[in-house]
């Protein structure tokens, strides 16, 4: 009986872990997703864990499971929204148009055509307050139509829209339209902020973000410690690396005393394993399926990323200017032209390729960029190539 009880307990823990990982990988799960039933089964335990350790709310009903995640910081630009098809990151105009599209859907009918949605977005974009900020959207150009199609693809990916008929490419070519159902249960769960944007009164962008994401200040020592625990656990779950230098004195002192407890709780729920170094902590995923950005990867960009990582890792902490890295990528493109994509050796190709690789390394918290200066961070050192060691040398180390 003891063996059976242990086996059942292990099976239950494994199922709960898979449910937690499903939410971390996709904070919005619809009922048709195979993992939705598992999340509902462990909803009480998951809701309690996330509330106690991160302050994130878990909303579950018959149609959707939504983990309302709040970032530990509001100044990380390394994980932008992307067009699901082209993987191009959203710019300022697309973010604004996404908000206008969501507002139009919220006030509209349960079905909408892409053309009708476009009309509402154009109307909303004509607001003088918005045009005064430099945002112009008239749908007169192909680029503007491409922006709207990219937004719709993102909303389809989220599950806010469900295609009934038509094709977005026909709309892009101005030869057809598309009909969608609006999934209101999903739409209602999208906002992940402690207050409504319409209540924000600040003027500057930074002040508005700070006011929008501000949580109720803690009034006791226990609440202060809870807030620190939430902030640290969020970063350990979301960030590839948590560097001690990025923490204030209070956070660092709390982490020094609670590091084992924090990482053990995360490991128990998610299966992530703590890699603790002198500079910080990384929660490593043995299954390698929770990361948004992976390294190494195949292909030209994947190989170029490894080569630049190795180059920067030789001098972690040193500052490299962008032109030096452009020259390095040009050299590597010639050296590896048999394996890299054909246009990698064309004049100027190194600029886009370098930018793509640096964006990947920055998202992985392996480099720090200011303008045209790049500095390797400690996590990059794992990609440094060192001289081979004998068994005796390794034993001494």
Could you tell me the two tokens for 65?
Answer: 């499971």
For the chain, the average pLDDT equals 90
pLDDT more than 70, % of the chain: 95
Cα angle, residue 205 at apex, residues 203 and 208 outer, rounded to 5°: 65
Contact 121, 145 (CB under 8 A): no
Which of the 8 DSSP states describes residue 35? Answer: T
Checking if the pLDDT of 304 tops 80, the result is yes
| Sheet of 57-60, strands arranged across | 28-30, 64-68, 57-60
- pTM beyond 0.75, yes or no: yes
Instruction: At 393, give phi and psi (nearest 5°).
Output: -65, -45
299-383: which CATH number, 1.10.3470, 1.10.10, 1.25.40, 2.40.50?
1.10.10
Residue 163's φ and ψ, nearest 5 degrees, are: -70, 135
E strand map for the chain: 28-30, 57-60, 64-68, 111-113, 161-166, 178-182, 242-243, 273-276, 280-284, 319-321, 367-370, 373-376
Long-range contacts of 384-391 (CB under 8 A, 24+ apart): 384/310, 384/313, 384/314, 384/316, 385/310, 385/313, 385/314
How many C-beta atoms surround the C-beta of residue 324 within 10 A? 13
Q: What does the pLDDT look like over 150-165, one tens digit per residue?
A: 999 999 999 999 999 9
Under 8 Å between Cβ of 283 and 237 = yes
What burial letters (b/e) apply to 19-36, b meaning 16+ CB within 10 Å?
A: bbbbbbebbbbbeebebb
Token reading at 172: 């892009």
Q: pLDDT at residue 40 above 80?
A: yes
Domain ranges for the chain, please list them. Answer: 2-68, 73-214, 227-284, 299-383
Give the phi and the psi of residue 372 in degrees, each rounded to 5: -105, 20
Choose between 174 and 264: higher pLDDT.
264
Query: What is the per-residue DSSP string for 94-152?
Result: HHHHHHHHHHHHHHS-SEEEHHHHHHHHHHHHT-HHHHTTT----S-SHHHHHHHHHHH
> What is the Cα gyration radius of the chain?
24
pLDDT band at 10 (very low <50, low <70, confident <90, very high): confident
Q: What was the pLDDT predicted at 51?
A: 96
Residue 387 has pLDDT above 80, yes or no: no
Question: What pLDDT shows up at residue 100?
Answer: 94
CA distances from 28 to 36, 78, 322, 362 (A): 10, 21, 38, 26
- Has residue 397 got a pLDDT over 80? no
Strand pairing of 273-276 and 280-284? antiparallel
Structure tokens at 151: 């937004």
Confidence of residue 306 (pLDDT cuts 50, 70, 90): very high
- 3-state DSSP assignment of residue 58: strand
Lowest mean pLDDT among 174-178, 278-282, 294-298, 327-331: 294-298
Integer CA distances (angstroms), 109 to 104, 105, 106, 153, in order: 9, 7, 8, 19
pLDDT at position 130, please?
Answer: 86
CA 50-56-62 angle, to 5 degrees, is: 85
Q: Is the pLDDT of residue 237 over 90?
A: yes
Q: How many residues are there in the chain? A: 397
Mean pLDDT, range 307-320, rounded to an integer: 92
pLDDT of residue 388: 60
């Amino acid at each position: 009986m003891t063996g059976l009880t242990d086996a059942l307990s292990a099976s239950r823990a494994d199922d709960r872990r898979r449910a937690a990982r499903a939410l971390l990988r996709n904070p919005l799960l619809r009922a048709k997703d195979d993992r939705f039933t598992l999340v509902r089964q462990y909803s009480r335990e998951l809701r309690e864990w996330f509330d106690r350790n991160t302050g994130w709310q878990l909303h579950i009903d018959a149609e959707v499971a939504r983990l309302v995640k709040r970032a530990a910081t509001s100044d990380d630009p390394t994980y932008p929204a992307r067009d699901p098809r082209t993987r191009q990151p959203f710019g300022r105009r697309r973010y604004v148009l996404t908000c206008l599209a969501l507002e139009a859907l919220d006030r509209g009918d349960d079905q909408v055509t892409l053309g009708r949605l476009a009309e509402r977005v154009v109307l909303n974009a004509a607001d003088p307050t918005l045009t005064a900020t430099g945002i112009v959207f008239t749908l007169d150009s192909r680029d503007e139509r491409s922006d709207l199609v990219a937004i719709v693809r993102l909303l389809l990916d989220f599950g806010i829209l469900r295609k009934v008929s038509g094709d977005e490419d026909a709309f892009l070519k101005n030869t057809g339209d598309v009909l969608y159902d609006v999934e209101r249960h999903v739409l209602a769960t999208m906002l992940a902020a402690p207050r409504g944007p319409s209540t924000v009164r600040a003027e500057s962008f930074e002040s508005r973000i700070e006011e929008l994401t501000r949580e109720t200040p803690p009034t006791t020592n226990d609440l202060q410690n809870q807030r620190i625990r939430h902030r640290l656990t969020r970063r350990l779950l979301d960030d590839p690396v948590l560097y001690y230098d990025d923490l204030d004195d209070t956070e660092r002192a709390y982490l020094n005393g609670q590091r084992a407890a924090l990482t053990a709780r995360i490991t128990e729920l998610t299966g992530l394993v703590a890699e603790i170094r002198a500079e910080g902590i990384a929660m490593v995923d043995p299954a390698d399926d929770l990361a948004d950005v992976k390294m190494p990867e195949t292909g030209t960009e994947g190989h170029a990323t490894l080569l630049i990582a190795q180059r920067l890792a030789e001098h972690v902490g040193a500052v490299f200017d962008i032109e030096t890295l452009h020259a390095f990528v040009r050299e590597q493109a010639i050296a590896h032209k048999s394996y890299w994509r054909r246009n990698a050796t064309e004049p100027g190709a190194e600029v886009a390729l370098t930018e793509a690789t640096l964006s990947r390394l920055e998202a992985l918290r392996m480099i720090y960029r200011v303008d045209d200066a790049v500095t390797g961070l400690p996590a990059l050192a794992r990609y440094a190539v060192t001289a081979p060691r004998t068994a005796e040398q390794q034993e001494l180390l």
